[in-house]
Structure formats: C-alpha cells, structure tokens
Structure 1
Amino acid sequence: MGQQEWMTKDFYAILGVDKSADAQAIKKAYRKLARTYHPDHNAQNPQAEERFKEIGEAYAVLSDAEKRRQYDAIRAMAGGGARFSAGPGGPGGSGSFDDVFASMFGGATGRGGAGFGNGSFRFTSPGGSGGFEDVMSGLFGAGSRGGFGGFGQQPQRGGDLTSSTRLSFRQAIEGATLKLRVEGREMTVRVPAGVRDGQQLRLRGKGRQVPGGQPGDLLLTVEVAPHPVYSRSGEADLIADIPISIGEAVAGGSVEVPLLDGSSARIKIPAGTSSGMKLRLKGKGVRSSGKRRAGDLYARVRIVVPRKPSRDVTDAARRIDEAADFDPREGLTTQAGW
C-alpha cells in the first residue's frame, strides 16, 4: 500500500476503535475482525479477502508506535488544509509539510531554498518538483525517487505486506516452516520457536518486490490454537493439567506426565495433595529462539472423582472423611468477611 493512501484511509474506523485506543484495544479489535474475515472461513465471499487485507494494513500501522505517530501527523495535516510544496524562497503556510517536518526532524523547515546549508530544504526530481510520493517515500522507507536536497538518487524499497496464519500449540512452541500464499505469491517462511498468540513477526525480504531495489518485509500475525492439556505461563513456562484420583490425592503416588515432544516424565504426588497444586519439572518448558535455557513445566493437578460412584466407593469416601476428622471449609466465613 502506498503511503499516499494514508491520507484517505481511516485505519481507526477500519478496526472500529477510537483514536485514543491503546495497543491492547487495537490488538483485540484486530483479532476479532481477522477471525471474522479470514479467507479460510469465507471461501465463497471474495469481498471478505479484500476486507481482511484492509484490516491487516490498518493493524500493521496502528500496532507500530512509530508508524502510528507518523500516520496521525499526516492525517492531522491533511485535515488542516495542508500544502505539499512551497515556492522558492516563499513562506510555508500553516498546517503544511513544513510544520510536520519541523515536528519530526527537530526544527528544520521546508520553506523553500536550495538545500540544507541555510536550514531549509526542498524536494525535487529530475523532471521537476517532487510530488507527494517522493516526499512520503523518503519519510517512510521506500526511498526518494528524485533528488532530496541535492543528495541524488536513492534506491527504492518494496512495500511491506501483511498476513496472518494459525499455528498448532506445538508449532508455536517448537517453531515451524510454513508455506503461505500472500497476494497470489507463494512463499516459504520460518516461524521461530516460542511465538505467542497474537504476536506479529517481521519477516525481512518477504514483502513486495521492486525492480533494482530491496524487497519489503512481511508482517505476519500469529494465531495459536489452544491445547487441551497445555497452556503458556509467562514467556517460557508451560502448565499441564494432570488429573489424579482421590486415592492418589490422599495417599500420594507417582504419575506420568506427557510432554509435547512425544516423550513423558514421572512426577511424585505428595500425600495430601489438593486440586490446583503445581509440581515443577525443570527445563521442560519453552525454549525460545536465542535463549540458552528452556523454561519449566508445571504439572497442575486436578482431583477427578468417579462420575457414577458405586455404593462401595461412596462408603469408602465417607470412611475417609470420618478418619480424617477435619473441616475443609474451616475459616471460610472469616475469609469471606462475614
């Protein structure tokens, strides 16, 4: 998407958020819309794919603090009747590019003139005065097509692309090589180990290509499918919900915990274990890219009772209660503030 479209597209409206929305609200809105309009869920609706691309473009700008600042500045300038150039030696008007450049680049103003020597600059190209795209590409990474204050031709850079993909929980933990199709082009990308749900990856050189220039980047948003046993805790730890019986909770024992790589490990259940207790398996968590040590796996025990206990089971349970002689709700009313 060309930067000139920033003048006409209201990214806040596209995502359905207020201009004062914080990063969390923007991310939440994006994820909801992306799930709704994802092409995989709308195979018979070609308009959904266009809407999905539009949502991705909006999120790529608003989720990046610097791009969002620049976008807001440009939109504010456009709303104020901006002027895109100043005559030689002439004054820059209120709300013009002069004001935006002054705020972005520390006070240098574009009020005409031939170069930087006198504190001013102008945008020119070999065929005449530079247009909007010359200015914007110089600002936002695509390279100036013409001269910039006398510095001459700069190499162009292709635009960035946005897309999203869904990973299994194991793929997110271990990393994965994926084949994607973005704007009709097939590509192979490597997702690093340890990515989190909703994380946006910048994949260098996977964006739009331009003749004789550097390709842009692919901004890939990752959605991680939930797992029936495992969940993430912090950056590197995993939690596994492990069911145990009443007897194991009361008397203790040893249970096998399945690991994501297909192996297993045994943990000791102490006598008198309650539901929710966490038992640590050191080094069995997430090993993110660039980290020397993996996190830990916490087995969170959950006491499971028979769904249809027999008379013998219920009698045994009552005998346990009588023998234990303790009140599990002791002090509850005090804790509740009664």
Structure 2
Amino acid sequence: MTRSPAAPPDYWSVLGLEPGADAGSLKRAFRAQARRWHPDLNGNDPLAEERFKLVNEAYAVLSDPRRRQAWEAGGAGSGSAASEPQDPFATGFPDFEDYLDALLGDRRRPRRAVDADADAGFDSERDPEPADEPQPPRQGSGSVTASPPPPPPVQASSDQESLVELTPEQALQGERVELELADGTAVEVWTPPLAGDGWRLRLAGVTPGGGDHFLQLRVRTEEGLRIDGLRVLYPLELTPAEAALGCQVVVPTLRGEVKLRVPPGSSSGRLLRLRGRGQEWGELRGDQLVEVRIVVPEQLDEAEAALYRRLQELATDPDRP
C-alpha cells in the first residue's frame, strides 16, 4: 500500500478510537483490530495483509510518545522513507498469539479454562489483559534503532477433532465436557440437550493457527443401541432366509428386551418401529427404529451353495411365471 509521506493515515480511526484515548484503551483496540485483520485468520481476504500492517503501524506510532508527537505535529510520526522502520513482515506473518506475546509483553499461563458454547461455536480471546505497558522501539536523536529480528513463520491453521462418549442420559440432558487442546489450553464445553450419536460440535478458531476443533459425539449402549435425540436406532442382522420368509426376534431396548415380528420379504434398510421405546423428555417419548440388515455367510458348505445356485436359477428363469 503506497501512501504519500505528507498525508499519513488517521491512526486513531484505524484503531477505531477517539483522539487522545488512554493507553489501556489503545492496547485493547489494537488487540481487537490485530485479531480481526491478522492474515492467518483471514485467508480469504486479500486486503487483510495490508490492513494488518496499517494496524501495526498505527499502534507503533500512537504508543510511542515521540513518534506520536511528531505525527500530530505534521504527520511525520510514521516518518519518511529514511526514518520509517524496516517492514517487520517482509518475510511473513507470525502466529497471532506469538505476535501479541512479543509486541505486548504478555506472560500467559500455559493452561487456562475457557467457557465454550459448543452449539453455536465460539472464538476464544485467549490473551489476558497485559500488566505492563509495551515498549516499542524509540527513535534517538539523528539515528534509528535497529529493527527487531524477523518474526517466526506463520503457523498454518489445522482443524482437530476429539471423540466424546456420552451415556443416553448425558446426551438427553446435556453434559459438561473438559478437554485439553494441543497448545495446553483447557476448554470446558456443555453439550446441547437431545444430542445424538455422530453429532459434530464445532469450537471455532481455538486451535494453534486459528483452526477449528470438533467434538465427535458417540452415544451408544453395550447392546448396540444408538441414540439420536429422543429416537433410538438399532441394526438388526438377519440371514437371507429370515428376511425372505419372515421371523420373530428379540431386540434390546432402553427398558429391556422385547419380541419383534419381522414381516416376510423384508429387504436391507427396512425400518420397523417400536412405538414409545425411545428416550423420554417430560411428556414426550420417542420411538425405537429397528433397521433390517441382511447378512450373507462368508463361507458356504456344499449344500448351502447348491441351494443358492438353485435360487439364482429360479430368479433368472425366463419361463418362471
């Protein structure tokens, strides 16, 4: 971004502040704007890089009394080409958290509990308010201090996932889940009520580099029942003969075993309903769905193979009525 030295930007407006704001407000505004425009968190915005540099420049000028006084006197705070500090982002942008640590002098704990809204996702502000004022580079009389070493390379964001196992009761009521992220941050999450097996809950922007963390919910019983809100799902495996001729079977439910009649001609994927055998929520009670799955033996003896061949012949006989 090219700007005339005679007309520098309004740094107060860049940070969204009124002129003369105190040091605490300046630091909070810089933190918010830096997070908003950090290129690592705005991969789809081509203007984020230049905007982020401008936010960094505005903070560097306004937090340095000498540069701020020069800027307010006639726009020389950012300096001419000879006095302007070397671009610290010439070799890339650091990870957002490391960047704030280095510039603001934060000393954060290795772990910190974060309250999360797992249903809607969240962006966690993981930096506590710094205790000390920043010490930006100062310009001496007739000389310029050496620029700091290049920042570390940007850490690419990556999504992560954790498996969370819940009982049917926990899934129904909602459960508090504690987990530790890769960077040591402790996160506390409440799962939503009426959750189900296979649900994925998104925690937005909490992994190192700004990626998302997903919670994969597993809600199953030892008998093979899968919970989905108020509904209960159960896969029923049948032999081809049982599915074709019909049969009576015993299936598990949340309140004990029941007998179920499978009608003849039941194909894989057919759903049989057991009314009122699902989860209970006040006066509401869900159903249990039994899904038919036809299982073919892996190995057949000679007699079984002969019977299947005969069935195949009958099925493909053009003279069969």
Q: TM-score, normalised by structure 2?
A: 0.40
The structure showing larger relative contact order (alpha-carbon pairs under 8 Å, at least 6 residues apart) is 2
Q: TM-score, normalised by structure 1?
A: 0.38
Find the structure with the greater CA-based Rg: 2
